[in-house]
Amino acid sequence: MKKNIFFVLAAIWSLSLMLTSTACQKTYTLGPLAVPTNTPVFTNSPTKTGTPTRTPSNTPTVTPTFTAGLTPPPMNIYCSSETAPLKTGSGSYGIHYATQMIPLCDGWMLYGDLTTNKIQAVNALYGIVGSSYQLSAVPGELAYDPTTGFLYAVLTGASFVAKVDLNNGTVTNIMLPAEGVHLAAANNGRFFVTLTTNYNWPNEYISYIDGNSNTVLSSFSMGSFNADAYIACSSAGTTLYVGADGCSNCTTYQFAFNTGTYALTTQFTASGTYTSNGEDMSISPDQNHLVWVNGGGNGGGYTIFDIFTTNINNTYGSFATGAYPTSAGFSPDSANIAATNGSDLQVFSVTTHTASKSTWVGAAPGVTCCPTNIYDLLKTRFSKGGGYVFGLDVPTYSNPAPSTIVWESFP
C-alpha cells in the first residue's frame, strides 16, 4: 500500500515540473523565409521569337544609280578619257552666240563667245559656266594644241591671232600680215593661219607661227587661189591640206611643208566635185584619214569622202549624210566620226562607213528656206575622252542670237 502511494506522488511531482518549464519558455513566431539577393533564379531556356538577319554594312540593299550632281569634275585641258560617273542619254545647253567650239572631257568645252568677245569654258552636261578669257576682238575659228595647252583664235577684222594659254589664263596677241581666216594646229606648239584673200589677191597666203615664242616664223604664198582657204595639218606640221572656203569646183591641195626651211611643195591636187561649198576640214588622230566637208557633197550624192592622208585622190569610202553636210570630226581613237547634214546628229564607223549609233534626227531644226530665225548644226565634234558627241546649234539668220550645245553619250 505504501509503495503504491509513493509512485503516485512521484508521478504528480514530475508532471508539475513539466508544467512549470513550459510556462517559462519564450514563444517565437516565424516570419517569411528570406531569399538571398545573390541567389540566381534558374528558368527554362527561352523560346526564340525571331532570328535576326545580319546585313553587312558595306553591302547595298539597292543597286545605286549614278546621277551626275551639280558639281562636275574639274576641267582638265590635257584629258584623254572621261571620269565616272558619266551622264548617259542626250541633252542640250544654251550659250551665247557662237560658231566654234573645242570639246574637252566630262562635258567641258571651250567656245568663242561672239557676244562678249571671249573664249568661254562651260560644262554642257552639268549646265555650269567656267573660266573665261577676254579677247580684244570677235573670235572666229579656233584651234587647240593638247600638248601645250594653247588655244588659238583668229579675230574678225583684226590683223592678229590670239593665243590663250590655258595653263595660266594669259592671252597674247600675235601680229599677222593680214586678217586670219582659218587655223590648223600641230602638236608641237606651232600652227598655221590662212590669211584673207584681200591680202595680195588673188594669191592665198599662209602664216606659220611658233606659239611657244609668239613669233610668226614665215608667211608664204600657195599660189593663185581666188578664195579664203580651210586648212588641216599633220601632227608634226609637215603635211598641209588646203581647200577653198565656200567655192564650187575649186582645187583641193596636199602640200609637203619643210618646218626648217618653210618650203612648200605640192604633192597632190584634186579638183571637180571634191570641192563644192567647203564647210569643214578634219584629220584623224591616227593621221590616216581626212574629211573635207562640202555642202554640196564630195561627189556621188551628198556624201563626205573618207580620204587617204597620203594621197587626197584616194578614198576608203564615203559617209552618206544626206543634204547638206556641214561638219565632221573624228573620235580620239579614229574609229568613228561625228557628222551632220545641218539637222541631224550622226555618227559613222570609219571602218564600215555605216551608222555606229542611231541618228539623232532633228537635233537642230535645219535650214529650209527664207530668212527666219532657223537654227543649224554648224559644228560636230567628239569629246577628247570619246564618251560624248557634241553639236553646236547656231542661228542661221537674225544673228546674233543665243546658240545651243547639244550632246549625246557614246556609244
Sheet with 160-165, edge to edge strand ranges: 139-145, 150-155, 160-165, 170-175
Distance CA 203, CA 224 (A): 4
Of the two residues 67 and 264, the one the predictor is more confident about is 264
What are the beta bridge partners of residue 398? none
Q: How high is the pLDDT of residue 249?
A: 84
Q: How confident is the model at residue 398 (pLDDT cuts 50, 70, 90)?
A: low
Q: How high is the pLDDT of residue 58?
A: 27
Is residue 322's pLDDT more than 60? yes
Q: How high is the pLDDT of residue 47?
A: 36
Q: Is residue 46 part of a domain?
A: no
pLDDT, average across residues 4-23: 39
pLDDT, average across residues 229-244: 97
pTM of the model: 0.81
Cβ-contact 186, 144 below 8 angstroms: no
Q: What is the pLDDT of residues 24-74, one digit of tens each?
A: 333 333 333 333 333 333 333 333 333 333 232 222 222 222 334 457 889
Q: How high is the pLDDT of residue 57?
A: 28
Q: Is residue 75 part of a domain?
A: no
Compute the half-sphere exposure of residue 166: CA atoms within 13 Å on the CB side of its CA: 25
Is residue 197's pLDDT more than 60? yes
Is residue 235's pLDDT more than 70? yes
Is residue 397's pLDDT more than 80? no
pLDDT, average across residues 262-283: 92
Q: Is residue 24 part of a domain?
A: no
pLDDT, average across residues 144-157: 97
Q: Is residue 256 part of a domain?
A: yes
CATH of the domain at 323: 2.130.10.10
Tell me the residue range of the domain where 400 lies: 95-409
* Grid cell at residue 263: 618650203
pLDDT, average across residues 222-241: 93
Q: Is residue 19 part of a domain?
A: no
142 contacts: CB under 8 Å, gap ≥ 6: 100, 101, 102, 110, 111, 112, 119, 151, 152, 153, 183
Q: What is the pLDDT of residues 100-117, one digit of tens each?
A: 999 999 999 999 999 999
Cβ-contact 174, 209 below 8 angstroms: yes
Candidate from 33-47, 194-208, 270-284, 342-356 with smallest mean pLDDT: 33-47
Q: How high is the pLDDT of residue 243?
A: 94
Cβ-contact 316, 273 below 8 angstroms: no
pLDDT, average across residues 68-91: 85
Which among 138, 140, 120 is positioned nearest to 130, based on CA atoms? 120
Is residue 242's pLDDT more than 90? yes
pLDDT, average across residues 283-312: 95
Provide, rounded to the nearest whole percent, the portion of the chain with pLDDT above 70: 80
Run of H or E residues at 279: strand 278-283
Is residue 247's pLDDT more than 50? yes
Count of domains observed in the chain: 1
Q: Is residue 366 part of a domain?
A: yes
Q: Is residue 47 part of a domain?
A: no
Q: How high is the pLDDT of residue 273?
A: 77
Provide, rounded to the nearest whole percent, the portion of the chain with pLDDT above 90: 69
Candidate from 75-84, 218-227, 314-323, 347-356 with smallest mean pLDDT: 218-227
Q: Is residue 243 part of a domain?
A: yes
Distance CA 200, CA 217 (A): 19
Distance CA 355, CA 261 (A): 43
pLDDT, average across residues 10-28: 38
Cβ-contact 285, 332 below 8 angstroms: yes
What does pLDDT average to over the chain?
84
